[in-house]
Structure 1
Amino acid sequence: MTIHSTDPFAVPDEDKSPVRRLRGRLASPVTLWTAPGPSGLTVSSTLVADGDPGRVLGLIDEESDFWDAVSQAGRFAMTPLTPADRQLADRFAGLMPAPGGLFATGQWRETPYGPVPAHAGAWAGCTLDTSRPCGWALLVEGVVASVQLDAATVPLVHFRGRYAELDR
């Protein structure tokens, strides 16, 4: 067996659209979105907008089990991930096996918005507001109903198809 340092299923740069290549040059936060059910999905196209009320926006695959769960529950949790969460991110992105299910390993805190990793330094509980088609996905907008901030953590970021971490 050979372990690859790159994704053997990745589309070569020359075969990607210029827009996709531009998007790849922007660092994105790696977050975990979960919903009652439970269901979850790794999302790197996430934006948090301050305001009254605050909002969370993300690009979500409309064919995902997560979208089905959010559509039914009307609420979700969004958790920023850390460099220690790389395997968790891969598992919820469908890039790593999840024997027993996505939530079978690790410690989880049950919330009204969906399970949250017990070690999470921050998370937001959101109610589903709107969704609309946007490119390859749905642009999903949630109203921030609850914010939990514990210890400040270094974020896991996605840049040019790989995980990275910020120097402090």
Structure 2
Amino acid sequence: MHQLNLRKARPEDASAVWEIIEPIIRAGETYVFSPDTPREKMLDYWLGADKDTYVAVLDGEILGTFYLKANQPDRGSHVANAGYMVGEKARGKGIAKAMAEFSFVEAKRLGYTAMQFNYVISSNTVAVQLWQKMGFKIVGQVPDAFAHPGLGLTDVYVMYRKL
């Protein structure tokens, strides 16, 4: 059996990261980014200096990516925020769960005491269920906060867990 390697993203990973991110943002169903966000702008965001960005590698291929960052500056900087994406061909294989478990350990190592997701689209049931299985609670709901391309205005959850 091959082992999934989770490591910090490197500059040379940018193209592989873009291959994961592009179809997800083009679909416009689970992230707030405009579907026509250019490659450079999206990679500047995902790989930005304000984040610790990681990749999930199996047999030399990057299958997923996530970042950790402070949810808020200064007095809110002990709570992590994160974003996760898994490539389409790798979905349903436990990559997201592995990245989540690794991210909790890594976030704690970086000094965070909790993790908060500010904008989980309620219609993204796969993500909502995964986060709930991973110990997150829905602590808030924002009505009609996301303009879903097929469902129209959709609620967004705020989700939280201690590390």
Normalized per residue, the structure richer in helix is 2
* Structure-2-length-normalised TM-score: 0.29
* Structure-1-length-normalised TM-score: 0.29
